[in-house]
Chain A
Amino acid sequence: MKDFAYVSAPDVATAVRAITEPGAKFLGGGTNLVDLMRQNVERPDTVVDITRLPLDRVEELPDGRIRIGAMMRNSALAAHRLIRTRYPMLAQALLAGASGQLRNMATVGGNVLQRTRCPYFVDLAARCNKREPGSGCDAIGGFNRNAAIFGASESCVATHPSDMCVALAALDATIELESVRGVRRLPLVGFHALPGDAPQHETAIAADELITAIELPDLPVAARSRYRKVRDRASYAFALVSVAAALEVRDGVVTEARLALGGVASRPWRAHAAERALMGAPATEESFRRAADAELAGAVAQSQNAFKIELARRAVTATLRQLHLPGGAA
């Protein structure tokens, strides 16, 4: 780890001023950044500690939306009554991530901005266009068992590792950003970039912006939702494939569907094609499989991860089936 200056920000105004220093980086829970600094993947000149900012609450807004402070710890958010009852898929996604200790440390804002776990990204001896633009990609043709099946490019096949963001994508969450220039809001869907020929640009955040909050719409269908994560062991592993889904069925017909996939792309993958296929369809196993097929039709495998396409198809179908069964939700 290289030397750096440490600044603790007591309030947002101080934080967004401090980040304008060249080479400055925000430090949230540290579960990703401290690790990457120790491996010399991240080399900030100044670390601006934002864990003391008063942004650690969940609030219900007058119009029914929910505002989540960006410094809220993942475990605290998962345990919050409003999240558990109105957005169970989000609570389940948070609890499916990492370990108890890491969930206690990791912040909501940091979770959104966490870096890929592609092994070549953290291996300084390997080529990685994300870490070292223009150097190449050793994952293509290399160890790519957990690489993307959607939206990958010849530059990068890495996935975004977050569970939380998959639920947030299905929920149409909004990200609030603040800088010395002002405040703006961006939809979470589309916030994370596809790699194209510049995989080092991972999100729409500007270098001087701080995530201050995540907002959830008032979304009744989300009360009937589920997060299903498929991984190599029962706990404490990144997703091979995950599914966040909400389903409303009236008189045997799907009247509303929300679906997003994790572990499959450089962004949480909102499954618009599957949602379209579900709308107005009879709520049957056949429709669920067709919806999964509609989404997976666009999937492209790397040398080692073709299994993910079938796995995703089955995970989508199983999650929808589970939601539709009596007592199958949440």
Chain B
Amino acid sequence: MTKSELISALSAAHPHLNARDVELIVQTILTEISTALSRGDRVEIRGFGAFVVKKRDARQGRNPRTGSTVAVSEKTIPFFKAGKELRERVNAQVSGAHLPGTHLSRSKRG
């Protein structure tokens, strides 16, 4: 599924919203996660997962073609760790375990 397919599917599920708003919602969520990570913040969505940034130290890398050493500077990597429910749901068919009632559990609007 691509972003545009996600937007179409959401529009179909929420017919009272226009497609432009649905697109704005999806984009707002993604932009906010990206912005938070850029600030070095973490984003934690219970049941779904957590987005964090990890620091990678500077290192001596190698150009795989020539074998010459190149300095790789320190950098930050976005990282996603799946939450428990997501992990279990993704794994459900393989293990054959049926997990009753594992919908992204979230008390209906607190």
Partners in one complex: no
